[in-house]
């Protein structure tokens, strides 16, 4: 086992609004070195860094929009997000929870700050990660996995170092509840100051870290809050060490699908024809209906 | 191309609003005429633009006169398949000459006809 080589560390770039509720830094695919092909199977990473949301009777959010061909993984670190979709699913993603939505053949949905939460406002921090689906699963039936925090795998680290919260994949024998369509590991390293956690993922997996809170040192490289570290496809192991109290690092690693990617807005397919078909299906109502 | 301004020197009755990050090249009528006078390729391009413009207008008038709102929506999405994803529905409704409520109703009816219930888990 060799030490994983670090490709680069990047600051967040300028923010943009997604609807009127989510003010995000995009990492994947906009930042050079983090294209869909280079981060395969991770095809989008939007990060709403910690900010205060003023109380409001009309919750901010994004109106009805379609998705096809991939999954959206929403991680709520602070605040609450409410969602509804054309298959009549709906719910609230609360602080610490994850929603893993497999859009697959297609769904219409909308997402907002949760109504009751928005009335009081407060700290809001969220990650939305899109994971690509293998060609064979792109047109499968849509589904949801609601992953409340208490169902996640919790691996307690020795010496009061903290814990690793496993959403998907496995950390030293502790498995996460999410079912994935290709090998994907998604976990939060929650470390006390001076706490260390060691990780190992195959060299060919695309692997990145995002510091949600605190400050980390990874294989000797400084990683401040809101910064992303991308590993090169060399070596397997790395150590995250927290150099600030209550450090939280999101760890993502996935086996690349190595299939052609053709993306247009909310559709991610393998060919241009499939994108044209998705547009036609959306226009003729095949995704169903959802009131705004 | 704004015909009122460029050919008839009238104030435009339209305005331009960017609804996504855009880069727009602006040519005024003098630059336009100069280019057409000095560059044959541009003149041909200008002429084909004009023909295209008339063609589009004719289609739109015919559709407004003789097609139902649903037919107009279907023609529009065939011609511009990606626009529903990028333009707010109230703007599309205005282009189609219907109310946003009518567009929403049309889309709902289409969904009832064309969305087969899937097994979701």
> Is it the case that residue B120 has pLDDT exceeding 80?
no
Query: Pick from B84, B115, B119: which is nearest to A141 by CB?
Result: B119
Chain A contacts of B114, Cβ < 8 Å?
284-286
Q: Is B113 on the interface with A (CB under 8 A)?
A: yes
> How many Cα neighbours within 13 Å face the side chain of B24?
11
pLDDT at A223: 98
pTM of the complete model: 0.91
Q: Stretch B66-74: mean pLDDT, rounded?
A: 94
> Is it the case that residue A163 has pLDDT exceeding 90?
yes
CA distances (Å), origin A178, targets A63, A134, A185, A252: 27, 17, 9, 13
| pLDDT more than 90, % of chain A | 95
Selection from A86, A102, A98, A151 nearest residue A127 by Cα: A98
CB A25 within 8 A of CB A47: yes
* Least confident among A109-113, A143-147, A235-239, B33-37: B33-37
pLDDT at B119: 44
* Least confident among A249-253, A256-260, B42-46: B42-46
pLDDT digits (tens, 9 = 90+) for A195-232: 999 999 999 999 999 999 999 999 999 999 999 999 99
Residue with tokens 């490289």: A221
Q: Stretch B40-68: mean pLDDT, rounded?
A: 92
pLDDT band at B1 (very low <50, low <70, confident <90, very high): low
Q: Stretch A125-153: mean pLDDT, rounded?
A: 97
pLDDT at A260: 98
> Is it the case that residue B26 has pLDDT exceeding 90?
no
Q: Stretch A121-147: mean pLDDT, rounded?
A: 97
Q: Is the ipTM of this complex over 0.85?
A: no
pLDDT at B121: 40
Q: Is A263 on the interface with B (CB under 8 A)?
A: no
Residue of chain A whose alpha carbon sits nearest to that of B114: A286
| pLDDT more than 70, % of chain A | 100
Query: Pick from A65, A89, A285: which is nearest to B111 by CB?
Result: A285
Longest dimension (CA), chain A: 59
pLDDT at B117: 55
pLDDT at A113: 96
* Least confident among A26-40, A196-210, A252-266, B37-51: B37-51
Q: Is B112 on the interface with A (CB under 8 A)?
A: yes
Structure tokens at B110: 């289409």
Residue of chain A whose alpha carbon sits nearest to that of B78: A280
Q: Is A173 on the interface with B (CB under 8 A)?
A: no
- How far off is chain B from A104, nearest CA to CA, in Å? 11
Chains A, B: CB contacts under 8 A, how many?
64
Q: Stretch A169-198: mean pLDDT, rounded?
A: 98
Selection from A240, A244, A156, A249 nearest residue A198 by Cα: A240
């Amino acid at each position: 086992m060799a030490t994983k080589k670090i490709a680069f560390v990047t600051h967040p770039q300028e923010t943009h609004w997604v609807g009127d509720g989510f003010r995000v830094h995009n990492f994947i695919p906009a930042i050079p070195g983090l294209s869909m092909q280079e981060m395969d199977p991770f095809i989008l990473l939007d990060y709403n860094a910690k900010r205060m949301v003023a109380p409001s009777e009309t919750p901010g959010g994004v109106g009805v929009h379609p998705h096809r061909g991939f999954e959206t993984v929403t991680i709520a670190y602070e605040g609450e997000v409410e969602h509804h979709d054309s298959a009549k699913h709906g719910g609230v993603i609360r602080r610490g929870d994850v929603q893993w939505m497999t859009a697959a053949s297609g769904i219409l949905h909308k997402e907002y700050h949760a109504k009751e939460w928005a009335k009081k406002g407060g700290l809001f921090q969220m990650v939305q990660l899109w994971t690509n689906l293998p060609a064979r699963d792109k047109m499968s039936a849509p589904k949801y996995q609601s992953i409340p925090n208490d169902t996640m795998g919790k691996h307690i680290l020795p010496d009061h170092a903290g814990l690793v919260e496993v959403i998907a994949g496995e950390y030293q024998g502790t498995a996460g509840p999410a079912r994935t369509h290709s090998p994907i590991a998604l976990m939060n390293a929650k470390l006390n100051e001076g706490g260390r956690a060691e990780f190992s993922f195959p060299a060919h997996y695309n692997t990145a870290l995002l510091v949600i809170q605190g400050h980390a040192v990874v294989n000797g490289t400084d990683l401040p809050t809101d910064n992303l570290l991308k590993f090169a496809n060399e070596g397997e192991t790395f150590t995250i060490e927290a150099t600030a109290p209550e450090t939280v690092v999101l760890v993502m690693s996935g086996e690349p699908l190595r299939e052609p990617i053709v993306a247009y807005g909310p559709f991610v397919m393998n060919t241009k024809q499939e994108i044209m078909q998705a547009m036609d299906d959306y226009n003729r109502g095949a995704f169903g209906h959802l009131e705004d | 191309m704004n015909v009122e301004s460029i050919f008839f020197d009238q104030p435009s009755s339209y305005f331009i609003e960017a609804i996504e990050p855009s880069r727009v090249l602006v040519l005024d009528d003098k630059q336009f005429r100069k280019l057409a006078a000095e560059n044959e390729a541009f003149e041909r391009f200008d002429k084909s633009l004009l023909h295209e413009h008339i063609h589009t207008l004719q289609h739109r008038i015919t559709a407004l006169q003789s097609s139902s709102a649903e037919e107009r929506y279907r023609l529009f999405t065939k011609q511009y398949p990606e626009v529903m994803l990028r333009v707010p529905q109230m703007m599309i409704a205005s282009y189609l000459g219907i109310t946003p409520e009518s567009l929403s109703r049309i889309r709902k009816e289409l969904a009832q006809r064309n969305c087969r219930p899937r097994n979701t888990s």
